[in-house]
Amino acid sequence: MNLEQIIKDAFVSKQSVCMPMEPMSRHTSFRIGGPAELFVCPAVEEDLAEVLRICRESRVLWRILGNGSNLLVSDKGCEGVVISTEQLSGLGVNGNLLRAGAGQLLGRAAHLALEHSLTGMEFAAGIPGSAGGALVMNAGAYGSEMKDILKSARVMTGEGRILDLPAGDLELGYRTSCIPSRGYIVLEAVYELRPGDRGAIEGRMRELAARRREKQPLEYPSAGSTFKRPQGYFAGKLIEDAGLRGYQVGGAQVSEKHCGFVINKDHATAGHVMELCSHIRKTVKEISGVELEMEVKRWGEF
């Protein structure tokens, strides 16, 4: 019996999905990527635990996928099992606490906060990631980060054990957390917000949305900010000063609207993106002496 059938036989929910050779271009905001050897989307936590158990016993590599908004997958695809948290997407409010399942989109969570006149999450309304992915990398925008509003998280270990952890245990820093190094899988995030004026909250969200539309290349597929912000600098400014605005390799281009974004302008491949990023890093280093570090995660062989 093959791994696909073993996993399907272990599912307790009819909504859980297991598919071989699923194109990852369907699951990343870059719209790039070859097939996952096996793509699994558990509908309930029990099925997630079973998939982990089977992978562990079969000694098969597994990876967790959120909304794929900060990810570049190789044109050759990726081996092993890709586990999507898309269906683990509960959402609710209790007093000042907002709970969001790992697969829930941050934008939907922020709008639920608005409906309940809770402030603190406005910055997250335009971030295209999921609650789980945003927590893993402590996503942020406009001077705020997940760590500013996170109260606690519910996670699963690689052995299937569930832990409820306070925010302070997750070592949230600039685009980092201890979640990957400890092998945790985010199941749910709990945010502690504050009562606010609904009109003011909505106004702030509209203001930030307008700023994003004006300054970011939202009309093209991308993975957001391609490089981390170097201490004391802005990556986009360094790239612009290096004369790379609009520079293109194949279908991948440095955005003309915001040089901190590499975009999929015209059927770019992962190879095009990596070649362009290598050129950017080399040129910026030569001109400014600053070493850029990629913020976008990479899966597969490059």
Catalytic residue positions, numbered: 175, 225, 295
Amino acid at 255: S
Pick from 127, 118, 165: which is nearest to 146 by CA?
127
Q: What angle do CA 272, 273, 274 make, to 5 degrees?
A: 95
Helix (H, G, I), strand (E, B) or coil at 206: helix
Complete edge-to-edge strand list for the sheet that includes strand 78-84: 17-23, 35-41, 78-84, 62-65
In this structure, the number of other CB atoms found within 10 A of the CB of residue 195 comes to: 10
Spacing of C-alpha 223 from chain mean position: 9
**Strand residues in 95-244 grouped as ranges (E):** 97-101, 118-119, 140-141, 144-145, 150-156, 162-166, 185-192, 194-195, 222-225
